[in-house]
Structure 1
Amino acid sequence: MLEESDQMLTVLFRDLNPTPSAYSNPLTAPLLECFDFSVICKFPLEKSIKFYLVAFRSVRKATADDTLLYKLDAAAQAEALESGGLLRYWYGRLNAQRECLAMCVWSSRDAAIRAGTLPAHIQAASVAHRMYDTYSLERYWLELSPSGSPDRRLTVTLNTISQTKP
């Protein structure tokens, strides 16, 4: 269950939508190019704030069980929402090459780690080797800072923490 402060932050990310790059080039396009961060730049903020962001880039196997994947994904998302800290979850659609990008924004790294230890997430992760030709996890710190400009209240900085390619 989201804390009251997380509920307020969810509003900040509610309108964060993908750009065409999220679909046309989901494996290699820089994350800042995959989403329209300008929508959150209008949010008034008095001091800098950091969020933890996880991106999942994949190529789905032609033999993947899409119904099972969507079921496991929905269960893991519901569990993450209940555990607290998940501010935005976005799952893209497959392109013609079966490539896809998914992304989560968390209130903290601890919240993301906690959700990753829950049963539904563990079950979803356990089928990855059967469902994907390739996949990678990218972890970032997303920092929003006051910009001092009336038309662009925030500056967005995305710093890579790590990339994992199993």
Structure 2
Amino acid sequence: MAEVRGEEDLEALRGALRRLKPRGEGYARLPVREAFGWEEVLGGLEGRVHLVAFRSVRREDADEELLERLDRLAYEEASTAPGFLHYFRGPLSPGRECLSFCLWESAEHARTAASGVLHELAAGAASRMYECYVLERYEVVFGEAGLSFRLTS
């Protein structure tokens, strides 16, 4: 197994993460560790990343066009930030539930990116667009010893 280091390894990790898919319609209610096929895409890699998950239940009267625009702008800002690895935008379930996440090289990279102007604009709309939402932060370690998700806050 190769430790994720340097740009070549980071590109291999990014490529693997693009293949990550939810495990069925009810994925948004599962623990992040169980909601996706992590083992299938991270096999052969070794490393440590920081995951920020956003679980939500969308309001029936949410402005879908505005949400889409805010999400796209926040993603564009994040994707150019140092340490960005991957963004998964989850599909909305029939019950209006969603689980999306960002992966970062470190918690510090994630914290810095969260202070971006467009991210703060999107976050500011959350109380008007969602019945409820929660952020979960994990340290994800993968390699020969297996896969672990440690809740960090």
TM-score, normalisation: structure 2? 0.88
- Aligned residue identity for 1:24: G
CA contact (8 A) 1:85 1:108 kept: yes
Cα-to-partner distance string for 1:41-88 (whole Å, 9 max, x where unaligned): 42244xxx2110011110000110011111111111111111122211
Which consecutive residues of structure 1, in runs of 5 or more, have no partner in the other structure?
Answer: 148-154
Cα-to-partner distance string for 1:129-148 (whole Å, 9 max, x where unaligned): 0000000000000001324x
Task: Kindly indicate whether residue 33 of structure 2 is the aligned counterpart of residue 32 of structure 1.
Answer: yes
| Partner Cα distance (1:69, 1:59) in 2 | 13
| Partner Cα distance (1:68, 1:118) in 2 | 18
State which of 12, 16, 22 in structure 2 corresponds to 1:18: 22
Could you tell me which residue of structure 2 aligns to residue 4 of structure 1? Answer: 7
Please identify runs of 4+ aligned residues in structure 1 that moved more than 2 A. 3-9
| Partner Cα distance (1:124, 1:41) in 2 | 30
- Aligned residue identity for 2:57: V
- Give how far 1:14 is off: 2.2
Alpha carbons of 1:54 and 1:122: their partners in 2 closer, same or farther (altered >3 Å)?
same
| Partner Cα distance (2:100, 2:139) in 1 | 16
Q: How many residues are matched?
A: 147
Alpha carbons of 1:44 and 1:145: their partners in 2 closer, same or farther (altered >3 Å)?
closer
| Partner Cα distance (2:26, 2:41) in 1 | 23
- Give how far 1:127 is off: 0.3
SS of 2:80 mapped into structure 1: helix
Which consecutive residues of structure 2, in runs of 5 or more, have no partner in the other structure?
Answer: 1-5
Provide the alpha-carbon RMSD of the alignment.
1.6
Q: Which has the higher helix share?
A: 2
- Give how far 1:25 is off: 4.8
SS of 1:40 mapped into structure 2: helix
Task: Kindly indicate whether residue 148 of structure 2 is the aligned counterpart of residue 157 of structure 1.
Answer: yes
Could you tell me which residue of structure 2 aligns to residue 109 of structure 1? Answer: 107
CA contact (8 A) 1:12 1:43 kept: no
SS of 2:135 mapped into structure 1: strand
| Partner Cα distance (2:132, 2:86) in 1 | 24
